[in-house]
Amino acid sequence: MATALKSYDAKIDSKKRITLRNTIFEYFHVEEYDDGRIVLEPRELTAPFQVSANTLKMMDSAMENLKEGKVSEKIDLSEFDD
């Protein structure tokens, strides 16, 4: 079981907000329960994986070459079969 590092009382302001003091996280997942409990779990948001514009251009060029029949000979991968 986790040990409490801080314990304090807080009041909801006029805009229904509460202030967390000196937290190391910027984002939280919030769960509200019908008995009034609110559980905050810290979240680390990251940027989603993005394909660069150069990579997309190269992929488009490869597809154009395929459509035009500009392809290499087939590669024999039979040695890798089980």
Interatomic CA distance for residues 37 and 29, integer angstroms? 14
**pLDDT > 80? residue 1:** no
Structure tokens at 64: 């154009």
Interatomic CA distance for residues 58 and 51, integer angstroms? 11
Q: What does the pLDDT average to over 28-34?
A: 93
Read off the pLDDT band of 51 (50, 70, 90). Answer: confident
Read off the pLDDT band of 81 (50, 70, 90). Answer: confident
Read off the pLDDT band of 42 (50, 70, 90). Answer: very high
